[in-house]
């Protein structure tokens, strides 16, 4: 039996029904409810709102497969699952293009003053010179992390007459006519824009630290559509205030639940949203209608159902 503990495209459910596969669809299920219902499940489908920890895995003696809608496995104790011979799969192939388009959209919006000028027009203001924009063409863009989303971002950028420097500590030989395989030092030295496409691990936690920002040479724009904790928020604020960077375009934050903020987190958030050169969206980069379908299809393929 498949326990689906996350919203999926109807294609996923329709396919299971057509194949005669038993499933329980509980898209808004809580962690406690998963513990109650997982005992007979052989497969678990999750997104980010369910933490698949040791306790949950121990409540699922028949579990053989965990599927993650999207990328990033930090909510799943993959090591413990594998020790129980449970296969863990994600589906970054399904939403990588959505993330790449969102990163590009943030960058175009920032450079061409789109949000600001639209609001001004709504206020009956018609400022042209004040909204003179900057082109992406001719810029050097550093991509840190060259997996599915990093490479998808590079493909979109290849049409913009830019220099792309891509760094991935665990990959080699991926350079092509549009992308130059680079060291981190080269990205830090030459990039006008730096975009993060990293999974969240102990190694990438606060990767963009105070020391990282101090090394930057060209006051780049920082883009983060990966995980909020890849960027140290306090260090980011300091980098903005001291003009080490020209701006920050963020789809993710270290804590994405404002109702749980400590006083310190409230101060950080309120500081970030006051900057004119900071744009924040609510972790929607991978949320497209097309990605919802593609992620479901990818997991069905990895399950061997289609």
| Annotated catalytic residue within 59, 112, 206, 283 | 283
Indicate which residue of 102, 148, 167, 227 is catalytic: 227
One-character DSSP codes across the chain: -EEE-S---HHHHHHHHHHT--EEE-TT--HHHHHHH-TT-SEEEE-SSS-B-HHHHHT-TT--EEEESSS--TTB-HHHHHHTT-EEEE-HHHHHHHHHHHHHHHHHHHHTTHHHHHHHHHTT---SGGG----STT-EEEEE--SHHHHHHHHHHGGG--EEEEE-TT--S---SSEEE--HHHHHHH-SEEEE-----TTTTT-B-HHHHHH-SS-PEEEE-S-GGGB-HHHHHHHHHTTSSSEEEES--S---GGG--HHHHHHHHHHHH-TTEEE--S-TT--HHHHHHHHHHHHHHHT--
Give the active site residue among 135, 256, 290, 301.
Answer: 256
Active site residue 283: yes
List residues with catalytic annotation.
227, 256, 283
């Amino acid at each position: 039996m498949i326990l689906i503990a996350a919203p999926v495209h109807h294609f996923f459910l329709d396919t299971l029904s057509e194949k005669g596969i038993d499933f329980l669809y509980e898209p808004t299920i809580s962690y406690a409810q998963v513990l109650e219902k997982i005992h007979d499940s052989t497969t678990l489908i999750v997104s980010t709102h369910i933490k698949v920890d040791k306790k949950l895995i121990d409540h699922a003696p028949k579990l053989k497969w965990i599927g993650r809608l999207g990328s990033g496995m930090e909510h799943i104790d993959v090591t413990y699952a594998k020790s129980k011979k449970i296969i863990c799969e994600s589906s970054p192939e399904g939403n990588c293009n959505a993330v790449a388009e969102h990163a590009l959209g943030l960058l175009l919006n920032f450079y061409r003053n789109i949000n600001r000028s639209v609001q001004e027009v709504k206020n009956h203001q018609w400022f042209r010179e004040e909204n003179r924009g900057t082109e992406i063409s001719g810029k050097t863009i550093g991509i840190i992390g060259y997996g599915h989303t990093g490479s998808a971002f590079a493909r979109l950028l290849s049409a913009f007459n830019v220099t792309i420097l891509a760094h991935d500590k665990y990959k080699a030989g991926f350079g092509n006519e549009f992308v130059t395989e680079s060291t981190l030092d080269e990205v830090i030295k030459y990039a006008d824009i730096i975009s993060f496409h990293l999974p969240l691990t102990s190694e990438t936690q606060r990767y963009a630290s105070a020391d990282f920002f101090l090394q930057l040479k060209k006051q780049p724009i920082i883009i983060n559509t990966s995980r909020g904790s890849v960027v140290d928020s306090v260090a980011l604020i300091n980098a903005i205030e001291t003009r080490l960077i020209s701006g920050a375009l963020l789809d993710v934050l270290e804590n994405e639940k404002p109702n749980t903020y400590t006083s310190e987190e409230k101060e950080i958030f309120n500081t970030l949203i006051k900057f004119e050169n900071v744009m924040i969206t609510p972790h929607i980069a991978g949320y497209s209608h097309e990605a919802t379908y593609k992620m479901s299809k990818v997991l069905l393929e990895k399950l061997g159902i289609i």
